[in-house]
Structure 1
């Protein structure tokens, strides 16, 4: 389940099996969608591509060796890599 956080202008979702939260800033969505999207546009894009967002989060957790429960951000590059797979 994803939610929008106005205070940081980002989408937030819980990662599979890691118990931390992942944030994706609206500017990352701007790169992915090629326009500055509204929060609802970001949520809709996430829902459509949730497996890629989860895969990007898992890859970043592994790559950075993040401890369980740590919160982190994904960039548009992180997501774009996962979308290509």
Structure 2
């Protein structure tokens, strides 16, 4: 009988601490973000590199440079997607 009281007391304490602990989940932002031109160019370059479409890739590389990507940034995109 005494064991049931102790188990019941422990269960109540666990339930209280479980439900009173505030959640610390990250809040989702309500604003919708869109990609800037540089990020869009990175996606295009990496996709065309992965598929191997060299004609469209040449155009995408020029567009990426026009959109503000540096040669080193484009090189990094190519290095990271070359294996795929």
TM-score by length of 1: 0.26
User: TM-score, normalising length from structure 2?
Assistant: 0.26
Looking at secondary structure, tell me which structure has more strand per residue: 1
More helix by share: 2
Higher RCO (CA-CA < 8 Å; seq separation 6+): 1
